[in-house]
Amino acid sequence: MVDGHTDAVIASRLGMSVRSVTNHVRWASDLFGSRSRAQLAYQIGRSGFLGDETTDTAPGRGGNDSCGVAGGSVPGEAVTGDEGP
């Protein structure tokens, strides 16, 4: 998305349906309160939501998981340390 790819290109690269990608983008837009894809990409980049992808790529630990969303804090989400194993 940051590189300007359409939902169709993203879906093809991830092996997902276009509709799934569109829904993921809509969910993220709602979560971050963005009004455009450019604003969404900027807000995700600034938030740390994607984590540090250079050190650990395990799901939920800063790397991308199977749906293209990575570990990190979500705006408004409290970090309690009680997330389980």
pLDDT in tens, 8-26: 999 999 999 999 999 999 9
What topology does CATH give the domain 1-73?
Answer: Arc Repressor Mutant, subunit A (1.10.10)
pLDDT digits (tens, 9 = 90+) for 35-83: 999 999 899 889 988 786 544 433 443 444 444 444 444 455 444 444 4
- List the beta bridge partners of residue 70: 64
The pTM of this model reads: 0.55
Residue 55: C-alpha distances to residues 1, 23, 34 (Å):
22, 29, 28
- In whole angstroms, what is the distance from residue 85 CA to residue 78 CA? 18
